Each structure stands twice: as C-alpha cells, then as structure tokens.
C-alpha cells in the first residue's frame, strides 16, 4: 500500500531548500541564523505562490526563540568538546505547512451537537482521531462555549450512521476546520437554550441567563434549572444544533493578485517552525547521532499543551527517521523492505532529548486562535540534521536517508572536509 504521508511532500522540498539556504549563507559570509531572520516572511508579505499573507506569520519569532535558547547559545562550546574521532555540529531549518486542502478541493466540515435527555452535551464528530488527540480538543472547544466540564460532555466518533461528513483527518485541517464548525454549532445551541430558559424562569431576556455545569441559571435571582429538565421540554430539533464551515483559500482572498497565475495549490493560512539539530558524527564509521533537538512552532494559540508537545515530538521522531534510517528499497518493482525488520524506524531508545516551544500568535480564522500542528514538525528535521552534519564535517549529502554508509562515503570523497557550496 502507498499513499500520502505526514507532511505531504513538504519535508522533501524543505530538505532541498533549507540546505540551499545554508550554502548561500556560507557563500555570503553570514550565519545560517542571520540569513533566515533577515528573509523571514512577515504578515502582509507575498509568498512565492503570489498569495499575500493576511494571517499570523510567526517564523521570525520562531527563529529568534531558537537564537535565545540555551541549546543554541551553548552550541559552540558543546561542539568544541567532541570526543576523539567524532565531530559535532549544529544545524538550522525553517519550515511551513499550509492549512487545509487548498482552493481546488472544497474543504468543509459539519458539526453537530445535541443536548441529551440526561442533560449532557453530545458532540458528533465526523473526522477521525488517529491518536493525535483532536477528539479531546473538540470537547474543550464545545465545553468552553457552553461552560461545561468534561463530565458534562459526550463524544461520538466517526460513524456513517450518526455523524456528518467532515472530510479527512489530513492536511493539518481537522481541528481548524471542524473546530470552526463546532464553535458555530455550540454558539447556536447556547443561544437557543438561554432564550428558552429565560421564558421558563420569567427572566427579562436571555441576557439575564447563563449556563453553568449541568444547569442554566437566572443571574439576578440565582434560580436554576437542570439541563435535563430543560431538555425534557424541548423538541428533538430544538435539542440539536448543526453548523457547516468552509475553510477560506487563497483563491477566494481579495488580496490575491489577479495578474498572477495559479501555481500549485496555494493556501492562505500557514503554520511555521524553526528547528535546530545538534549532531555527533563518528568519522570512523559514518554513524550520525542526534544528541539534541529543539523545535519552536507557530501554530497559533495552544489549547492543550500536552497534545501540542506530543504532536511536535511525534513529528520530530518521524522526521529523524526520514533523515537517518527509513529507506524504501525496491528491486525491479519488488519491495525489499516490506516490514519493520527491514524498513528501520527510530524507536524511543534512538531518539534524542527533544525540546519544543510555541510562539502563540493569535490566528483570527482559527478556532480560539489556533492553527494545525499535525504536520509542521515533520518538515524540518531532515534539513536541520543535514545542515548539522555539514557544520560538523563540511560535507553535503543530497540523498536520504543519511546512513552511516552515505556519510562515510562523503567523508572519504572530501577528506579535507571542505563543503562544496
């Protein structure tokens, strides 16, 4: 089986572009960090696809956070303390990832929320949680609007008989797209409940009402009605709220230059990241060990710090596998690495200490200001490791994975350790 993989082509392009940036910096006599900071995109800039960036654009802040980090500031001292026959290096990479499918495919989600007869809010989710934790975030979003704790919420995961079509769990879109639909559905539900409760409790209007866990309260008098009692009065239609959201795309944007032709599938909202890899290369065997890794990510507001950290570290792990050991080998159309005994992925023992940090720039189009974080962490590790190897040994490897054999071969061809740039 084959198909799209995390990052959807961006890690491959980033691997080439970010090594080229380092090579340009060397030719110009400036540092890899400085060349990136000087050329970092800002809100209002136009990207190469011709799209004006109207959303949050935090790559500059990500790079500055890398620069201020302890790992980066101590890297020169760390590199000088390398053991015999080993060389140490530090490498940078910038990365970006578009939100959603882009303008050529309708990117929609349909959210449904129901007040059950028991007084619980049941969220019907049509996008799959494959372990990334977005299901927990959906309950947080609805709970925030309806002022309910997790004990007052239920979640129905994708089921063609019960949930509504909401697209695939891909393209860094699930929480962004479905989350926006869920916000609208939850606000509609809240408005309807407060209006009906205000009549039942003889309030002057819904502005005197508020939702509290398990109940609706009349603020001036303190009188309360259980949500289960309110649900018993409402019709099935009144207890249900449905909303649809369509992700905007660059093609729809009034800022897009009509004189520019459409290249690729431009997006209008992006997540950004800056990655730093710290490697140790054994010059006798070619083995490259990543001793530390730092990722700073602009994915908007972080609603769940634990899920954010897990997403970023999981992406780094996959990116390091792509960089150092994962290789699909074929022989006349026959796959020679069909299982995990031959297709080597990194395990927890192989992974370095990973640090992740966020640049929380509010994204106006995102639910509660967030952007997708599912793919962005996959895009930078290959380039960061490749640049770190070049910093350590002065060699460039343009074929992945960067196995000991390839590193040793490059070292033998360049005994003077002079980088070709």
Phi, psi at 111, each rounded to 5°: -105, 145
Measured distance CA(250)–CA(253) in Å, rounded: 5
Catalytic residue among 18, 360, 363, 375: 375
Edge to edge, what strands does the sheet with 153-156 contain?
Answer: 153-156, 121-124, 108-115, 240-246
Q: Which residues partner with 295 through β-bridges?
A: 275, 356
- Does residue 421 contact residue 27 with C-beta atoms inside 8 Å? yes
Measured distance CA(152)–CA(113) in Å, rounded: 13
Measured distance CA(236)–CA(247) in Å, rounded: 29
Edge to edge, what strands does the sheet with 288-298 contain?
Answer: 86-98, 270-282, 288-298, 353-358
| CA distances for 151 relative to 112, 155, 303, angstroms | 19, 11, 19
Can you point out the beta strands (E) in 11-158? 86-98, 108-115, 121-124, 153-156
Measured distance CA(44)–CA(55) in Å, rounded: 8
Alpha helix segments (H runs only) across 6-58: 10-28, 32-38
HSE value, Cβ hemisphere, 13 Å, CA-based, for 326 = 14
Which H or E element spans position 246? strand 240-246
Decide if 405 is catalytic: no
Burial class of residue 265 in the structure, from the number of CB atoms within 10 Å of its CB (0-12 exposed, 13-18 middle, 19+ buried): middle
Copy the structure tokens of residue 144: 């925030």
Q: Where in the sequence numbering do the catalytic residues fall?
A: 375
């Amino acid at each position: 089986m084959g198909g799209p993989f995390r990052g959807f082509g961006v890690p491959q392009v980033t691997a080439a572009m970010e090594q080229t940036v380092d090579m340009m910096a060397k030719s110009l006599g400036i540092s890899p960090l400085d060349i990136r900071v000087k050329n970092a995109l800002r809100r209002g800039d136009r990207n190469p696809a011709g799209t004006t960036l109207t959303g949050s654009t935090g790559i500059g802040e990500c790079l500055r956070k890398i620069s201020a980090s302890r790992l980066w500031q101590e890297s020169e001292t760390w590199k000088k303390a390398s053991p015999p026959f080993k060389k140490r290096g530090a490498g940078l990479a910038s990365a970006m990832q578009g939100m959603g499918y882009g303008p050529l495919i309708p990117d929609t989600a349909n959210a449904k929320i129901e007040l059950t007869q028991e007084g619980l809010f049941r969220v019907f989710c049509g996008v799959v949680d494959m372990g990334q934790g977005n299901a927990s975030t959906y309950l947080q979003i609805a709970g925030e609007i309806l002022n309910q704790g997790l004990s007052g919420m239920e979640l129905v995961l994708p089921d063609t008989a019960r949930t509504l079509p909401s697209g695939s769990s891909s393209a860094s879109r699930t929480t962004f797209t479905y989350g926006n639909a869920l916000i609208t559905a939850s606000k509609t539900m809240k408005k309807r409940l407060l209006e009906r409760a205000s009549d039942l409790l003889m309030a002057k209007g819904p502005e005197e009402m508020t939702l509290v866990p398990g109940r609706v309260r009349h603020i001036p008098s303190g009188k309360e009605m259980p949500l289960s009692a309110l649900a018993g009065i409402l019709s099935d239609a009144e207890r249900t709220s449905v909303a649809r959201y369509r992700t905007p795309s660059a093609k729809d944007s009034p800022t897009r230059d009509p004189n520019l032709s459409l290249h690729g599938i431009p997006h209008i909202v992006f997540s950004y990241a800056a990655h730093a890899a710290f490697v140790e290369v054994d010059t006798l065997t070619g083995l490259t060990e990543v001793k530390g890794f730092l990722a700073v990510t602009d994915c908007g507001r972080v609603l769940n710090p634990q899920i954010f950290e897990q997403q970023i570290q999981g992406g780094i792990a996959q990116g390091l596998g792509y960089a150092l050991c994962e290789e699909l080998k074929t022989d006349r159309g026959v796959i020679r690495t069909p299982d995990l005994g031959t297709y080597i992925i990194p395990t927890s023992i192989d992974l370095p200490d990973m640090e992740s940090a966020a640049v929380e720039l509010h994204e106006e189009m995102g639910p509660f200001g967030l952007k997708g974080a599912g793919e962005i962490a996959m895009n930078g590790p290959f380039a960061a490791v490749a640049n770190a190897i070049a910093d350590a040994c002065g060699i460039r490897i343009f074929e992945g994975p960067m196995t000991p054999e390839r590193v040793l071969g490059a070292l033998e061809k360049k005994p003077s350790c002079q980088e070709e740039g």
